[in-house]
Structure 1
Amino acid sequence: MTTPHPDRAAVISLEDLGLTYPGPPSVTALHPCRLRVEKGEFVTIVGPSGSGKSSLLNVLGLLDNPTRGVYRLNGVDTSTVNDSRRAALRGREIGFVFQAFHLLPHRTAQENVELAMVYQRTPRRVRRTKAADVLDRVGLAHRAHALPTQLSGGERQRVAIARALVAEPALLLCDEPTGNLDSDTAASILDLLGRLHGEGMTVLVITHDRHVAERGQRMLTIRDGVLTEAARAGAGAAW
């Protein structure tokens, strides 16, 4: 059993973390960086295409291993766990929200949410109750039995958010969550993320859109693999 680090306040703690893809020639996707995200924060990371956003997302989501430094997730040093425990840690501590929704088209909204609990061996009755509760939490109880093809883009993203929340993760990790939505629908999804943050959820959004990033409590930028704290001035600046 992995022993949590004593610092339990930080959901994410990166210490001189970097990622270099082997060559030849080798490519540095992430230069050594430090990042601390406290429990209950709403942090956004913004950067243009090719800036290192995907590499950072994959490391934070425990999909790729960094090549240097330390990543602690909710107090656990992720470099000390094997692949099976890493997968279990990812499933327990991180709820993913993607741009493309990734819903199964022939399953209802409720069934899509329930599927997130199948591999945790949650009893069927408990799955049904928890899925219904979390769909209500995102304002979609009335569409629980609709198929994704019967839902709007915003409703599909709400289902995806419900699926991410149902395991009660420590972190909601969002990759371009408004990228496939019109501006009004995008605003409603950002309002939902803001409300979840207000309820105590730790939210991290990775985006190319600085206007989306401005909705966070705290904003960072990434460019050429360099992660830095962002100034709030010039929110409308283009990349």
Structure 2
Amino acid sequence: MTEFPDASESPVIEFRQVGLTYPGPPPFEAFRPSDLTVRKGEFITVVGPSGSGKTTFLNIAGLLDTPTRGTFLLDGIDTSMLKDTERTTLRGRRIGFVFQAFHLLPHRSARENVELAMVYSGTSRRERPGRAREALVRVGLGHRTDALPTRMSGGERQRVAIARALVGRPSLLLCDEPTGNLDTGNAEAVLQLLENLNSSGITVVLITHDLAVAARGRRTVSIKDGALSEGDQVGGC
């Protein structure tokens, strides 16, 4: 089993002139060389209009795409030095994903959906039910562990998805438009949950096109035309 160093003293995300160009033809610069540091316990929002490069940022930060230039360190680990299998292992251990679509299996209970996240993580079969219940309690669904997603509200389904992201005890919670499919009340409940999780020490990076959602972060990074900048929010989202 691959062993990675302790991350307690390192930034969770460190971009050093990280960029991504697709070869084409013609070549397309999807993400311009950028610097970014996200430290443990931060709540960062990444905002930009459709087509700005938010998905590319997500794919790089989530170890789904490999930068074509620069250096990306995750928990102090130089990801450019890893083999594909090591990148997959690191992603599974250090990153929890929450998406706009819940991606739950409709005929599996909330607990079973959360357990599925541990199938390839090396967690023993005996340990999985308890870990899943613990994660569901943490998101306020301890009373719904046996419920099917088809019998749950949108807000509850997103909470199950967050529990699934948390069950591996990641360093980073990477959220892509997590309130995009929710009504106002459920969206607010999910944002409050993410804020509470952040207050407990979890690092949160939330990607959104919604400036009101972006304002919930302690720090906001903007993306426009594939370029990252801090301090100036992008209008016209």
TM category (shorter chain) comes to over 0.9
Q: Does the CA-based 8 Å contact 1:4-1:77 persist in structure 2?
A: no
- Report SS of the residue matched to 1:23: coil
* Deviation sequence 1:35-59 (CA, Å, 0-9, x none): 0000000000000000001111001
Q: Indicate whether 1:123 and 2:124 are aligned.
A: yes
Task: Report the CA distance between 1:3 and its aligned residue.
Answer: 6.7
Counterpart residue number, 2:156: 155
Q: 1:3 to 1:166 in 2, by over 3 A?
A: closer
Instruction: Please give the alpha-carbon distance, in whole angstroms, between the structure 2 residues aligned to 1:91 and 1:158.
Output: 19
- Report SS of the residue matched to 2:207: strand
Counterpart residue number, 1:179: 180
Instruction: Please give the alpha-carbon distance, in whole angstroms, between the structure 1 residues aligned to 2:126 and 2:109.
Output: 16
- Report SS of the residue matched to 2:228: strand
Please show how residues 92-131 of structure 1 align to structure 2 within 5 Å. 92-131=93-132
Aligned residues: percent identity?
A: 59
Instruction: Please give the alpha-carbon distance, in whole angstroms, between the structure 1 residues aligned to 2:128 and 2:7.
Output: 33
Counterpart residue number, 1:138: 139
Counterpart residue number, 1:34: 35
Instruction: Please give the alpha-carbon distance, in whole angstroms, between the structure 2 residues aligned to 1:231 and 1:10.
Output: 23
Instruction: Please give the alpha-carbon distance, in whole angstroms, between the structure 2 residues aligned to 1:164 and 1:6.
Output: 19
Q: Does the CA-based 8 Å contact 1:42-1:197 persist in structure 2?
A: yes
* Deviation sequence 1:100-139 (CA, Å, 0-9, x none): 0111111100000011111123222311111111100000
Instruction: Please give the alpha-carbon distance, in whole angstroms, between the structure 2 residues aligned to 1:3 and 1:147.
Output: 36
Counterpart residue number, 2:17: 16
Counterpart residue number, 1:56: 57
Q: 1:65 to 1:107 in 2, by over 3 A?
A: same
* Deviation sequence 1:163-190 (CA, Å, 0-9, x none): 0000100000000000000111101100
* Deviation sequence 1:73-124 (CA, Å, 0-9, x none): 0110000000101100000000000000111111100000011111123222
Q: Does the CA-based 8 Å contact 2:175-2:205 persist in structure 1?
A: yes
Q: Does the CA-based 8 Å contact 1:2-1:76 persist in structure 2?
A: no
Q: Indicate whether 1:169 and 2:170 are aligned.
A: yes
Number of residues paired by the alignment?
236
Q: Does the CA-based 8 Å contact 1:20-1:30 persist in structure 2?
A: yes
- Report SS of the residue matched to 1:133: helix
Structure 2 residue runs without a partner (length 5+)? none
- Report SS of the residue matched to 1:180: coil
Q: 1:110 to 1:52 in 2, by over 3 A?
A: same
Q: 1:3 to 1:165 in 2, by over 3 A?
A: closer
Instruction: Please give the alpha-carbon distance, in whole angstroms, between the structure 2 residues aligned to 1:183 and 1:97.
Output: 18
Q: Give the aligned residue type for 1:152.
A: S
Counterpart residue number, 2:226: 225
TM-score normalised by length of structure 2: 0.95
Q: Indicate whether 1:238 and 2:236 are aligned.
A: yes
Q: Give the aligned residue type for 2:236.
A: A
Instruction: Please give the alpha-carbon distance, in whole angstroms, between the structure 1 residues aligned to 2:143 and 2:129.
Output: 15
Structure 1 residue runs without a partner (length 5+)? none
Instruction: Please give the alpha-carbon distance, in whole angstroms, between the structure 1 residues aligned to 2:174 and 2:92.
Output: 12
- Report SS of the residue matched to 1:172: strand
TM-score normalised by length of structure 1: 0.95
Task: Report the CA distance between 1:230 and its aligned residue.
Answer: 2.6
Q: Give the aligned residue type for 1:238.
A: G
